[in-house]
Amino acid sequence: MRRLLLWLFGLGVVVLAVGLTARDLAAAAAFDPLRSVATTAREVALTFEVSRGQTAVSEVLQTLGPAHATFFVTGVWARGHADLVRRMLAAGDEVESLGNRPVALDRYPETVVREELAAGVAALVALGVRPRFLRPPAGRYDPTLLRLAAADNLRLCLWDVDGLDWASPGADAVVTRVLAGARPGAIIRLQADDRSSDTVPALVAILRGLAAEGLAPVTLSRLAAS
């Protein structure tokens, strides 16, 4: 919330001028996005975003082995890949919401945002999953999205370590970024999307590096509860 207020004041924005209400700001204060977890447990959350394809997801699931992760999936993707959602759950992984479509929700009016959130949740509920976390596509959000997510009992989840595999910098660069930022309580952002060719090669080395540091990959819910 402090970041939000500093951002608003830094731009010289008057709250009423941009249509932010008192309940928007109250929701922002009470439901600030989760970026990391303060914990002494030597655990991290590996989180993967999924909106397209199925090859990368299958390879990520196979590579994870006994390690656990959290997959943020769009509703559109989940409807078309129910078998992979079930495979995630059967492996003991967690499935959460990436909205309904991979669109920046802070660009749309409230009515559209409501529809997007509801459709994303409904797609997972139809598969037996009630999401607890929402990752806004590209990490973009505003106070209105915070309020609407809170009304749906969804906590926004961002990250404090971004592998940048979506930019295809090369697997070695992804590994270096992730392991440099990994520490107890870190939330690591990666992709499980067919457009991100560096993810699977990097994941093998990331898992090896985390093990060497005594850091166990766990689901987001477990990390948040520690």
pLDDT at 80 over 90: yes
CATH of 35-225 among 3.30.70.1230, 3.40.50.300, 1.10.10.10, 3.20.20.370: 3.20.20.370
Q: Are 175 and 202 in contact (CB under 8 A)?
A: yes
**pTM, 2 dp:** 0.87
Encode pLDDT of 115-153 as tens digits: 999 999 999 999 999 999 999 999 999 999 999 999 999
**Overall average pLDDT of the 96-119 stretch:** 96
Q: Where are the domains of the chain?
A: 1-30, 35-225
Integer Cα distance of 226 and 221 in angstroms: 9
Q: What is the pLDDT of residue 32?
A: 86
**Overall average pLDDT of the 201-226 stretch:** 97
**Overall average pLDDT of the 54-79 stretch:** 97
Q: Residue by residue, what is the 3-state secondary structure of 23-53? A: HHHHHHHHCCCECECCCCCCEEEEEEEECCC
Mean pLDDT across the chain: 89
User: CA geometry: angle at 98 spanning 135 and 143, to 5°?
Assistant: 45
pLDDT at 24 over 60: no
Name the strand (E) or helix (H) holding 187: strand 187-191
Encode pLDDT of 180-209 as tens digits: 999 999 999 999 999 999 999 999 999 999
Encode pLDDT of 33-43 as tens digits: 999 999 999 99
Task: Give the β-pairing of 161-162 and 187-191.
Answer: parallel
